[in-house]
Amino acid sequence: MKLMKANQFLFTFILIGALGFTGCKSQSNTASAPKELSSPNLKWSEKMALTLMKRHPKAYQIDDRTTAKWDYVHGLVASSIQELYKKTGDERYYEYAKGYADALIDENGKIATYDMDKYNIDMVVAANILFDIYDRTKEKKYLIAMQTIRKQLDDQPRTASGGFWHKQIYPNQMWLDGLYMGQPFYTQYTVTFENGKKLDDVAKQFELLEKNDKDPKTGLLYHAWDESRKMPWADKVTGKSPNFWSRALGWYAMALVDVLDNFPKDHPKQKELVGYLNELAVALEKVQDPKTGLWYQVTDMGGKEGNYLEASGSSMFAYALAKGVNKGYLPAKFKKVANHAFDGLTTKLIKTDADGGITLTQCCQVAGLGGNPYRDGSYEYYVNEKKKDNDPKATGPFILAAIELNR
């Protein structure tokens, strides 16, 4: 009898202990569980990031790639998710961005698939993620990779007036896209490692486009400028391309706010860059669709047949305007402009999928000038280029806009 009671006591003690242990474990897991797509009140920034991470478990798979490639679209999304890490402290976001670097940079700092001899300024922007990764890890391979990209800018071909060519295959041409692709990295590198010795050169890139590519009537800048006036798309007198493209203007707006992150306030050129941002903000507000808050693919032709409200440019403008206000560069009223745009994105262009993930629609997949097949920069060219849902050139800026607007 005593033995039975002792056994019963032992069994009860073990059972209570087991239940207690299980309960503690469950409680601990709940407390530290990462947010998922189904989490209530999830911010738009995390909703988009978690959607992308679910569909592309490795960052190099973004844009439906099956092999790793050093590319600007991956750099853009990885940078936006890196910013989300800074905002939330969720290590998954840091590791996702770092995973992109580690898929391409070997132990000696060599970047796979990168070819400096093409002098393609698009290839600079992915290095933006390396500053934080190097700062945290102190691993020399990341520094060597940054030094390699920095060398490209030293050797990048230039127009006679000193502007970076967009690519080796596009001689004498500056594209608005290139300002975002090259200048934020150039600024951060020269401030971090060179005591800011190249800041005047950074400012010069903006000065050249403000002087040669801006439309005095609207305050908007054209997609590109050919200093030689030799390209068939270029105006024979001014060298400007024929139309305003919202994504090109979006790249330019983001370039300004991101360059200003590292441009010292006491530098003589800082106020000049802030001035450019203010002028652009005023021009953009005038052509914002009053009903939806979005911007059209061809920025100034909202009522024209075939034009459509485009997600990437609208996301970029929302980000640049919101950040401009948050940093004190722009008047507070532009926060309303940015919020109006974000309302349009989330109510008009976002679809929620069965798994709780989100899809951003009406994203122009790509647009350029020249090349083969030839792209003439006409209205018809821009409105007939393919669209792609959740194109990374829209999802990255959407995350950044959501962060700046705390939506």
Which pLDDT belongs to residue 389? 98
Q: What is the pTM of this model?
A: 0.92
Q: What is the pLDDT of residues 292-317, one digit of tens each?
A: 999 999 999 998 999 999 999 999 99
Which pLDDT belongs to residue 38? 83
Q: Is the pLDDT of residue 2 over 60?
A: no
Among 8-17, 74-83, 159-168, 225-234, the minimum mean pLDDT is found in 8-17
Q: What is the pLDDT of residues 168-187, one digit of tens each?
A: 999 999 999 999 999 999 99
Domain boundaries defined on the chain: 44-405
Q: Is the pLDDT of residue 11 over 60?
A: no
The answer to whether the CB of 85 falls within 8 A of the CB of 99 is no
Give CATH for domain 44-405: 1.50.10.10
Q: Is the pLDDT of residue 25 over 50?
A: no
Which pLDDT belongs to residue 185? 99
pLDDT band, very low/low/confident/very high, at 140 (cuts 50, 70, 90)? very high
Q: Is 389 one of the annotated active-site residues of the chain?
A: no
Which pLDDT belongs to residue 128? 98
CB atoms under 10 Å from CB of 97, counted, come to 26
328: left (phi over 0), alpha (psi -120 to 50) or beta: left
The answer to whether the CB of 223 falls within 8 A of the CB of 245 is yes
How many angstroms separate the CA atoms of 308 and 206, rounded? 29
Q: Is the pLDDT of residue 44 over 80?
A: yes
CA 310 to chain CA centroid, Å, is 16
Token pair in block for residue 280: 């652009």
Helix 311-326, helix 392-405: angle, nearest 10:
30
φ, ψ dihedrals at 174, nearest 5°: -110, 125
Q: Which of 71, 132, 177, 300 is catalytic?
A: 177
Of the candidates 96, 165, 168, the residue with the CA atom closest to the CA atom of residue 396: 96
Which pLDDT belongs to residue 19? 39
pLDDT band, very low/low/confident/very high, at 12 (cuts 50, 70, 90)? very low
Which pLDDT belongs to residue 34? 62
